Structure formats: structure tokens, C-alpha cells
Structure 1
Amino acid sequence: MKTPLTRWSLSLALLLALAGGPPAHADQARRRNEVVEVVQKVSPAVVFIGTEQEVESPFRRRSPIEEFFGAPPQQQRTQQSLGSGVLVDPNGTIITNDHVIRGASAIHVILADGRELEAEVIGSDANNDVAVLKVSSKQPLPAAKLGTSSDLMIGETVVAIGSPFGLSKTVTSGVVSATGRTFKADGRTYNDFIQTDAAINPGNSGGPLLNVDGDVIGINTAIFASAQGIGFAIPADKVRRIMEELTRFGKVRPAWVGLEVQNLSPRLARQLGWDRTYGVVVSEVEPGSPAEQAGIRRGDVLAEMGGSRISDAEDYVTRAQGYPARAAFPLAVFREGGQRALQVTPVEFPPQLVEALVWNRLGLRVKPTRGAMAVQAVRPGSAADEVGLEPGDLVVRLNNQPVAEPAAFQEALLSARGTRSVLLLVRRGRYGYHVTLPF
């Protein structure tokens, strides 16, 4: 007599036989979709980035004896962080975020095949949050294609690959939610971003955002910590401009457009005949500047830059800084009841204008001396005069950047364009103090 278990087994076998037997190997061709193809095509070019940074431990204070003998103020400890990146050239060029590698004393790149390589920083730009790294390999490395972001469509499918929370080769997909997005975080304004609902978490920073062709159309960079389904990526066209600057010069050269803008009040907008809630008005055009050569006039309303709306003056300034010298950008301009398309090509900031900028904006004339910039003259009635700056004072830092030589002073000054004030560290005799001046 057969046991119940045996009868159950025979029944199961009969059912399987009637159903055609156990299912064959899954039909992968049927399940292969565009996301799978993108991942298989591009994931070998996505890398994991680990960094080390030496920081002072906050848990140890010096004793009076240690202070007398000059002992190190605090113990050093190694702080580790992680992020993602993408190879865009078989020679080992990697694109990632500036904030992923900022302050790192060592950068380790782990390739998709498991190899770990030391990376060299070719250049990094904090304003645009882009960094270019280089690794060396005897064999050509897998590389993704850096595509274009100029033809993105709202709602099109995108794929993000990275290492969120250290989980390498993590894939998420979604759609393009918006383009030309501006948002504020950590006291800074970030402009001209791709917004996506593809899940982006800590560790995804620096990884690629891809279209269904497998082209890199953005570099993932930020999330809203309090929101779900909202992530941001730097557009590929902007990444390409910054990468070319960093590769050639190691930094983004300050560029000059030669115009000043101000926000549009409702009253001013009505006077100009502008009935929209976005845009800025041109308040000044410098003679001989790229703006003048492009045909921009005082009183023009700048409505769009690079195909997306300009929200306010801060938005315009920050986005203009994303175009290095010789990189042209289009502007939609409203004038006398009609709109017209103009193109501006910024150039390197003329050194001779720096002195005028310092005198007109800060009320100072300076010269290099002893690892700082010495104040030669103070313009009467200027903000510098009102706070008590005097000839002989030494400007040691500008916006926390050392200004030991004219080139560093010029770079810090030009980086401050578009801000409302600058912070100076001034030394007078044995004492140092901070001074904030309107800019």
C-alpha cells in the first residue's frame, strides 16, 4: 500500500506531465528590455570611489605643557568617504563630483572587474561640483559615451548606476522629471540641473545618469534628504564644458561677459512691457565687452539662457559661471515688445579690469607683499573706508581663500562675482580680524 506522501508525489508528477513538465530555462530574450541593455552596456565603465582624508580629532585637547613645547594641537585621524564615478575615455579619464573627492589625501578607484587603482586629480571645480580624475592601466579601460543633454524630453526613461551606501553596481531607473531645475541647499543655490525620480542615495554622487541609448546625459550629484523620488544630475553639456577646462588648465578659467543684471520688480516689468514672472533686466553693459558685441543693451530683459528660463539675478550669475571662456551660450532677450535670440561668447577676464573692479567694488588698491596683498590706498567714502581699513593693512584671505599672490587674489575676487559681499581676513601688525564688505 502506497503512503500518502507517495500518492502526493505521484499526483504532482502527473500534474507536471500534463502541464508540459517543469518550466524550461527562462526566456531571457523576452525579458530583455532597454534598461537591461543599458546596464549591460555601461556598468563596466562605472567605478566605485573611496577617499581618505586626514582630519583633526575633536576629542583631545593640548595640555599647557604641550602648548609650551609646541606639541601637535590634536591627534590626526583618517576619515573615509565614498562615491561613484564613470570612465569616459579608455585612457582612464573619470568624471565624478567635486564634493566626492574634496579634501581627500588619497583616492582609490575600484573598477567593475575588481581592480583597485590609485587616482590622480586632474582638476576640480567646486562651483560646478565637477571633478576629473585619471587612473593608469596597461590595457584600455571600458568607457561610457558622454552624450548631450540638449535634447532631453520630460518623461523619457533614464537609468542611474552607482554605489549608494557602498553597495556597488546598484541600478535604479525612472524618468526625467524636469530640466533646468534650480534649488537651494546648505546656503548655496544650485542651477541648471536635471531632475529625476530614479532613486539616488548617498554614494550615488558622481555616478552616471543614462538615457536608453546608454549615453551619459548627466552626473548624479544631489538629493533632497526629506523627499522621496527627487534627485538631481548635472547636465552632460555642462559637464563636458567643465571637463575640457579642467583637463586643459586644471581649473575653470574665470570668464567675462561684461553685463550686470538686477531682479525685475512688478513695477519695472510693467514699464518694460514684460508680463512674465521670470527673467532679469540688464542694468549695465560694459563697453567693448562680449555682451556689447552680442548686441545686448541696457534695459533688455534676459528671459532664457541655454534654452531654460532665468529665474532671478542669482540664477543668471551662477549659470553664467558654468560657461568658461570661449564657450558660447544662447540668450532669449525681450526688447521693445518682442523677443530675439542672441548668442554671447565670454572671454577670459581682462587683467587690467581687476584693478578697477577692486577699486570700484571694494574701495581698495592693493599690491603683493610678504605673502599677502598690501593695501596701498582706500577710496574715501567706500565701505572699506567706513570700516576703518588703512594703507599698510594686509589682506591675507578673501572668502577663506589664501591670496598670497596676485593670481590667487584675482581668482578669489572673480569667483566672488555675483555675490552680495566678500569676507576679508586682514592683518594689522600682530593682529588679524575679519571684515565683510559689500560687493
Structure 2
Amino acid sequence: MPKSKNKLTSSASRMMSGVVQILVEGYIEEDIQSVLNPSIKVPGVWSGSGFFVKYKDLEGYIVTNAHVVRNAVKVKISSMLTSEERFDAEVVGLVKQLEPDVALIRLTEKELIRFKKLAIQEIEYLELKEGKSPTRGEAIKAIGYPMGMIEPNITGGEITNFISGSEYTTERFVTNAAINPGNSGGPSVNEDGKVVGLNTAVMIDAENIGFITPASFVKIIIENLLLLNEPHFADIGGKLQKNAENFNPLLKQSEAKGVIVSQVLPNGFLDSAKIKPRDVILSINKMEFDRHGIVIGKDGLYRHKNIYDVMKLVPIGEATEIVFQRDGVIHKTKAIAMRNPEKGITSIPILNDRKYLEIFGMIIQPLSFEIIRAIQEVDPAAQLEMLQTIDQEKPTLVVTHIYQGTQADEMEWPLGELIVKANKLRIHTLEDLKKIVKKSQGGAVLLECRSGRLGYFQVNESLENLE
């Protein structure tokens, strides 16, 4: 008699019917031209994976990676339950910065009815695992549609490691299960029939190393997106540094434990908790930290869950307990979990979100991390000045494209100039610049850059694009 399938294989086979292929038409976001000149949009087609998620009483909702549907114009899904039929889907929301790389889409109401009518069985909704993280060596199956395959693929492997989050990133599980292009967005499942995480990425040029976004983070994102909120996690609201025995006399500690607060952002979490620079954070919600900021004695040995991971899993708006030490005295306080205050320089990865002004033969945009990276590709030296602006509180305008034979070209304005003044007035936004240009119609506008470069432009062109 043939051997019966083991429990994990049986669970994965059943859950496979809840995994879908996602087919996308949209714009290629990595194209440098479209970053520096948003009027240029490079079309493309690609595919990924996703799964019907079990969440309250929702029907037709699908979890996938944000990078699968970011800058999508048209989204369709196909399923092994419905032969080769394709169904229209719409994007509910996504994490634009891909940290974590999660999006939520859904079948349109009309298409959900059609899907149910054509499906050979009821939709298999997959449940996200809650509670304790998996352990190293725990067996999983990764399911998806790699390399554009029209049938779902199951690969086996284990949880092999963990990558702690940081101020800017979220925690990930590491697996040796094969995750290939097109496979991302599908689930990794365990023998209990639960989704342990979302297949997120593969490490190029490394064998058998893939990354999984934990189900706990996926759940928080779903809740945010269903409320039509921009998904954010709670953050520390400041800068931290590792502790060391050398600091003991300065901090009046008997041993180096906890992490040192080096900076407190105005109106952030630490500020609301009345914590000051040189305070030492010992615990958050009873999770104690060693001098490296790693949780002590939780989830077994060699499990580097850190202070950022702990903070990100606290729901925004929840009262949070902090134990800290100041001048050798231990204090306990509470503050409401919140996201970090926004800074002037942000990420704008969605092409349609990019605002720009085409004037005097230039494209002028608010400076973003995407623009900094694109300009680095064109002129590495130009990036140095821009990096100095990242921590400022107000936005900055940057020149990202020069058209030949125009006023800007005649004055030999280079790519990457940061505009700080117009007619001797400080400006930070496109609206600031538009107002000054409108007032100067028939005259001239003097633009001043952070580098000291000047531009004296005649306002003799149509101002229709200023509306």
C-alpha cells in the first residue's frame, strides 16, 4: 500500500486551492526616467501570487505582496478552481514603502459572484497564524505561481533563521524553501493548516535563502487597510544606541543593561513618555532588553527579537508601559503607541502620487528617497548634498530634469539642484513656488539654490500647468 501523505503535505495540498495567480498591467517603477520625469511612464506586465485570507466575515479578499500591485493599472487573478478564467480585482490598499511588503486586493462584487458560479468547490480561505513565532527547523511549505506557471507550485523547506527589524524595517523569517520570481505574495504554511507568513523575496546569488513576512505583521496591515488607513506601525520616536560597560559611571548603572536614548523626536513616542536623551530603556510592556536592545529570555536561545520588533507589534493608540533608568534611578511610565512624526523628506514610490512642476524648461519635484537613489545612478556626487537634508522637518524642492534649448539649459542648471528661495522668499513646496510665479507673470523670478546657484527666469510661458 502506498504511504499516506504526512500532515504538512496534506495541509499544503488542501490550502493550495486558496492560492491565486495575480496578473498585472502597470508602470515599471524602477525606471530612472520615470522617477526623474514623472510625465514619462514606462508600461509593463508582470505576475505574482496571493491567497484568499480568512478574516472576520470578508469574502473575496486576497493578500499579496505590495510590490506585486504597486503602480498597477489593471489587476486580474486566476485560480485552479476556475480553469483558466481570469477575474478583475481591485487594490484595497498597500504598504507603499514595502516595509513590510504587504497588500490587500479583492475581487469586485460582480466578479466574486462569477467566481463562485464557476468554481468547482467553495473558496478555501487561509487563516493567519497568531501567537508564538515558529522555531528554527520547523517544516513549512511555500505555495505560489513561480515563473508565470499556470498551476500552483509547492516547495518544501524549514524556517532556518530570523532577521530582526530595525528603525526602518520589519522582522522577517528566513527559509530554505524555494521562493522564485512570481512566487512572492503566496503563503508559507505549517502542518496545522495555518499561514505562518507571506513569501516576500529571494536573495539573489544565494542558494536556498528566501524571506517570509510574519503573519503577525500581515494581520496588522490588513486591519489598517480595511479601515482605509495608510498602514503604519508604532515607532520609538527617537534614536537609540547600544549600551556598554564604559557608560556605567556616566549612567550610574551597576551593569550595562538596556539601550541608551541618544535623541528624542519632538511629538514622538519617547517625547510623550517624558523620556530624555541619556535615559536607558530597560523594558517595554515587560519585555526586557539587554545592552544590544535584544529581548532577554523570550522565544528561546539565539532569537534576536529586538526593541524595534517589540514596538512595531504594539497597536497604534494602545497605552504602552516603559521602564527606564535615569541617573541610576528606575522609573516606570506609560505613553500611547504612535508612529514617528513625519519628516520633510519622505518616500514616494507610487508614480501617480508624484507631484511635479514643469516650468522654465525644468521638472521640479519634492525631494524623495526615490529621487535621491535615481540621481545617484546618474551623478553619484550630487547625492552627497541631498543626504544632508534627510532629517530636516520641512520638504525641499529639487530639479530632476532639464529640457534642451530652454531657459534652464541656457543657464546650464544641473540635475539635482535644491531650490530654497524664490524672489528672496523661502519656499518648501510646489504650492509655494506656484504662488510666487503667478504673482510674477510678465516679469521674472529669481531662484536661489542651496549650493548658491542663481537662476533668473522670465515668466513668459503659459501658466496653465500652475493651476
1:158 to 140, 157, 165: 140
Structure having the higher strand fraction is 1
- The structure with the larger Rg is 1
Gap regions ≥5 residues in structure 2: 32-38, 117-121, 282-288, 347-354, 358-362, 372-386, 400-406, 420-449, 451-467
Q: Secondary structure at the match of 1:249?
A: coil
Q: Does 1:108 align with 2:76?
A: yes
Q: For residues 155 and 321 of structure 2, what CA distance do their matches in structure 1 show?
A: 33
2:199 aligns with 220
2:418 aligns with 435
Q: For residues 289 and 232 of structure 1, what CA distance do their matches in structure 2 show?
A: 31
2:92 to 114, 117, 122: 122
Q: Does 1:84 align with 2:49?
A: yes
TM-aligned CA distance change 1:239 to 1:118, over 3 Å = same
Contact 1:425 1:433 in 2 (8 A): no
Counting matched residue pairs gives: 336
1:347 to 319, 334, 338: 338
Deviation by residue 1:321-355 (Cα, 9 ceiling, x = unmatched)? 676623677879788899999986413667xxx6x
| Structure with bigger RCO (C-alpha 8 Å, 6+ apart) | 2
Q: For residues 118 and 274 of structure 1, what CA distance do their matches in structure 2 show?
A: 63
2:8 aligns with 35
Q: Does 1:179 align with 2:162?
A: yes
Deviation by residue 1:235-263 (Cα, 9 ceiling, x = unmatched)? 11111111111221242157565443235
TM-score (norm 2): 0.58
**% same residue:** 26
Contact 2:128 2:196 in 1 (8 A): yes
TM-aligned CA distance change 1:255 to 1:434, over 3 Å = farther
1:9 aligns with none
Contact 1:52 1:79 in 2 (8 A): yes
Question: Offset of 1:320 from its aligned partner?
Answer: 5.2
Q: Does 1:299 align with 2:264?
A: no
Q: For residues 135 and 237 of structure 1, what CA distance do their matches in structure 2 show?
A: 24
Contact 1:91 1:141 in 2 (8 A): no
**1:365-404 equivalences in 2 (<5 Å):** 396-399=365-368
Deviation by residue 1:94-138 (Cα, 9 ceiling, x = unmatched)? 111111112222111112213321111111112321111011312
Question: Offset of 1:210 from its aligned partner?
Answer: 0.9
Contact 2:174 2:212 in 1 (8 A): yes
Q: For residues 330 and 39 of structure 1, what CA distance do their matches in structure 2 show?
A: 40
**1:10-49 equivalences in 2 (<5 Å):** 26-27=1-2, 30-49=3-22
TM-aligned CA distance change 1:181 to 1:153, over 3 Å = same
TM-aligned CA distance change 1:102 to 1:279, over 3 Å = farther
Q: For residues 31 and 218 of structure 1, what CA distance do their matches in structure 2 show?
A: 27
Q: For residues 223 and 18 of structure 2, what CA distance do their matches in structure 1 show?
A: 20
1:424 to 384, 388, 396: 396
Q: For residues 290 and 220 of structure 1, what CA distance do their matches in structure 2 show?
A: 31
TM-score (norm 1): 0.61
1:170 to 153, 161, 164: 153
Q: Secondary structure at the match of 1:205?
A: coil
**1:129-208 equivalences in 2 (<5 Å):** 129-136=101-108, 137-138=112-113, 139=116, 141-148=123-130, 150-167=132-149, 168-181=151-164, 190-208=169-187
When the two chains are superposed, the root-mean-square deviation of aligned CA atoms in Å is 4.7
TM-aligned CA distance change 1:213 to 1:120, over 3 Å = same
TM-aligned CA distance change 1:35 to 1:330, over 3 Å = farther
Q: Secondary structure at the match of 1:152?
A: coil
Q: Secondary structure at the match of 1:199?
A: coil
- Larger mean CA deviation between 160-169 and 211-220 belongs to 160-169
